[in-house]
Structure 1
């Protein structure tokens, strides 16, 4: 990328929306680091989710604060992308408290497609049974939130291309096509 360092970027959405795949592909394309916010969950949160128990807001606040701190640190060192559910406006607001200027790439899709993907996943602590609670909690980006909504029916490459185009337009920067 040419120009200033990237602001913090969150690839958000419900479980099985492809956050990890898109965040990884986008980071490779932009030449920055990426992290999965799930890796920052304390063991208690992971155990709850693995047992099919949705997290409460009290479970999430310390985790979101840590994600926000990591986002800010990554942005300060040249840019970073996080895969993070960020389902509700208050969660995104919490991230913005720690990581100013964060941009959101909201991956969304047909609930049936998401359920198929969730059921097909192996070795993931988040059971498919929690997808309905995530869909119920999801609050789409508000008009005043800096972000874009992309449909997960497209391929990871197509989603990444669309995200890059949106970032170039939003940030008024050039991202070389050979940066992959």
Structure 2
């Protein structure tokens, strides 16, 4: 019997969480959920003004995403959710929804991330200072917590690398 996977694709804004997450979900034949869709309107407005979110702004958002993981776990269904999950305690909150949560961390250089943000249209997250605040808050996951892949690779190669990891584990 195949056990459904619940996977978090994490990283700072501009790393490709949504794009890679959708590709991965498509390859696995499971749902994709974009965590950005669950930010409170006040948080979206705050980020659009260039003001970084604090822990309290993120608390309810993270609990909502953890509840999604828990719902998929209860149904024994697979899902990929894209969410920044910058700090270890944020990821701990998400793991309350599924202790066996698989994590893919998309890591990249500041220059690469800035270029991607500059190329993006219609997204509420803007600006170099916002990226710098996320990079400053980032607590990269340790190797036994997540698979880390460099976004210098094409999205399809990232998905293939992660699928090889899933097959080997």
- Assess same fold via TM > 0.5: yes
TM-score, normalised relative to structure 1: 0.89
Structure 2's unaligned 5+ residue stretches are none
**Hey, which bits of structure 1, 4+ residues long, moved more than 2 A?**
74-77
In 2, the alpha carbon distance for the partners of 1:149 and 1:128 equals 25
Tell whether 2:59 aligns with 1:61. yes
- CA-based RMSD of the aligned residues comes to 1.2
In the other structure, the counterpart of 1:31 is 29
Give the SS at the match of 1:98: coil
Q: CA deviation at 1:97?
A: 1.7
Q: Deviations over 1:108-164 (max 9, x none)?
A: 01110111111111100001331111111111112442x100000111110000010
Instruction: Describe how 1:121-136 pairs up with structure 2 within 5 A.
Output: 121-129=120-128, 130-136=130-136
Cα-to-partner distance string for 1:50-76 (whole Å, 9 max, x where unaligned): 110100101111110000001121233
Q: How far did 1:4 drift?
A: 1.7
Structure 2 counterpart of 1:117: 116
Determine whether 1:155 maps to 2:154. Answer: yes
Contact 1:72 1:98 in 2 (8 A): yes
The count of residues paired between Structure 1 and Structure 2 equals 167
Q: What are structure 1's unaligned runs of at least 5 residues?
A: 171-180
